[in-house]
Amino acid sequence: RDRPLTTEELYCTVPSVFSAEKHESRSDRYTYIPTITLLESLRKEGFYPFFACQTRVRDDSRRDHTKHMLRLRRHNQITGVQVPEIILLNSHDGTSSYQMLPGLFRAVCQNGLVCGDTFGEVRVPHKGNVVDKVIEGAYEVLETFDAVAEKREQMQSLLLPPPAQQAL
């Protein structure tokens, strides 16, 4: 894929991203965290979805609330093999906490399996006042990317002497 997923493509692939409320099975203690609102905020920061999937369900009433995953990259890095990205996980039926995983990932197979290195994790359970925790977590992720980019540039500018090059 050489471009980000459109909103229409996301709606067809991962309808649970657009869920307007929590699943009816959740109690009043459960706090709904809308994925689409988070996605719109991340788009404003330059991160766009290029891969999306959600779990299959036996109970059709959970289809629009089930666990889903979005992989986001900066617009100009969509086609990169191993570039900084955010994996966002969420559900609206109680099967998953809200999670953001910043890191360098690479697709392993067509079903969405990825491998790579993470640079921390933001995990917010669906209870209590979650808005501040989610916003704070998003900024932590963005700061992490700045630090990683700086370290990568430092490492790339390092020139190894010929004997060290031969050893590697």
Number of neighbouring beta carbons within 10 Å of residue 30:
16
Q: What is the pLDDT of residues 95-110, one digit of tens each?
A: 888 888 888 877 777 7
> Which residue type is seen at 11?
Y
CA distance 96 to 25: 14
The phi, psi pair for 70, rounded to 5°, reads -125, 135
String of DSSP letters for 140-158 = HHHHHHHHHHHHHHHHHTP
In 10 A of CB 129, how many CB atoms?
7
> Is residue 95 exposed (0-12), middle (13-18) or buried (19+ Cβ within 10 Å)?
middle
pTM for the model: 0.78
- What percent of the chain has a predicted confidence (pLDDT) above 70? 98
**Of 123, 128, 117, 121, which Cα lies nearest the Cα of 90?**
123
Contact call for residues 112 and 69 (beta carbons, < 8 A): yes
User: How many Cα atoms occupy the beta-carbon half-sphere of 167 within 13 Å?
Assistant: 5
**116 has which bridge partners?**
105
Asked whether residue 11 carries a pLDDT value surpassing 70, the answer given is: yes
**In this predicted model, what pLDDT tens digit does every residue of 47-101 receive, in sequence order?**
899 999 998 878 777 777 889 999 999 888 888 777 788 899 988 887 888 888 8
